[in-house]
Structure 1
Amino acid sequence: MTAWERVCELDALVPDRGAAALIGGHQVALFRLSDTGEVHAVDHLDPFSQANVMARGLVGSRKGVPTVASPMHKQSFDLRTGKCLDDPEVSLQVWPARVTDGWVEIQVDARSSAA
């Protein structure tokens, strides 16, 4: 079963800058894109450095794909799928995100949020 967890007001997210949030006991990086207004949520943990830094990454795009580049070693990740564009064997976990009544919500497994 899944549930939506309210995280923050949309206006609290600065466009094209990341913010970290604790969701269901997991650190997540949130991004609000300035060109589309979309909100994306991915792992905050950089799989290459094993540091929680992805919210500090550089937001951009590669061939029309919205990306975040790790601030540690600069690998770029597709914000929609989590796949690393520089090493397809590596990816970030992605959480569905939506905006409801001005609030950012992240879809979580109801079992993890019940703990």
Structure 2
Amino acid sequence: MTTLVSSPQAMPAEVAAAAGRNVVRPGILPSPGARQWVSACPVTALVPGRGVAVLLPGGAQAALFLLPNGMIYAVDNFDPYARAAVLSRGLTGDRGGEPTVASPLLKQVFSLRTGAALDDPEVALPTYAVRVQHGTVRVGLPLP
């Protein structure tokens, strides 16, 4: 059984129970097109408000964030300003209703939904589709 849960819906009880939380919802719906879904980590490894770095095929890294409201986001872990893979250690927050992560090094703020640098419209992080399947967070990568 594959469970893709969008932001306004709660996930099935068996997945929520496996997560150890009442509601966990991916924050970004996948864009149309085929995806390779890569297992990232158990939902229970995510702590609200904190990030987790996961290794993707090819050596890329994603930063997963479970926000206190139950939304899960995945962005690239590489900070383009500091030129280091550190965003999973960033500070989550909110700017005008937009969920954000601030780099732990130089404090630039990025949207978790779009990856856009909120103070520099020319910079953006790659974002990834997220789904939860059998209590495991999976990251969607576009097929080559």
User: Is TM (by shorter chain) over 0.5?
Assistant: yes
Deviations 1:62-84 (A, max 9, x none): 00100000011111100000000
Would you say how many aligned residue pairs link Structure 1 and Structure 2?
110
TM-score when normalising by structure 1? 0.90
SS in 1 for 2:55: strand
Instruction: Measure the CA separation in 2 of the matches of 1:3 and 1:58.
Output: 29
The residue number in structure 2 matching 1:64 is 97
After TM superposition, the score normalised by the length of structure 2 is 0.73
- Which of the pair has more CA radius of gyration? 2
Where structure 2 has 5 or more consecutive residues not aligned to the other structure, the ranges are 1-33
- Following the alignment from structure 2 to structure 1, what is the Cα–Cα distance between the partners of residues 105 and 119? 14
Q: Which residue of 1 aligns with 2:22?
A: none
The runs of 5 or more residues in structure 1 that have no matched partner are none
Give the secondary-structure state (helix, strand or coil) at the position aligned to 1:16: coil
Provide the alpha-carbon RMSD of the alignment: 1.1
Q: Which is strand-richer, 1 or 2?
A: 1
Q: Which residue of 2 aligns with 1:38?
A: 71
Q: Distance in 2 between matches of 1:11 and 1:100?
A: 13
User: Aligned residues: percent identity?
Assistant: 49
Q: Read off the aligned partner of 2:77 and give its amino acid letter.
A: H
Runs of 4+ in 1 over 3 A off after TM superposition: none
CA distance in 1, matches of 2:60, 2:41: 16
1:1-115 pair list within 5 angstroms = 1-24=34-57, 25-35=59-69, 37-111=70-144
Within 1, Cα distance between the matches of 2:132 and 2:94?
22
Q: Distance in 2 between matches of 1:23 and 1:14?
A: 20
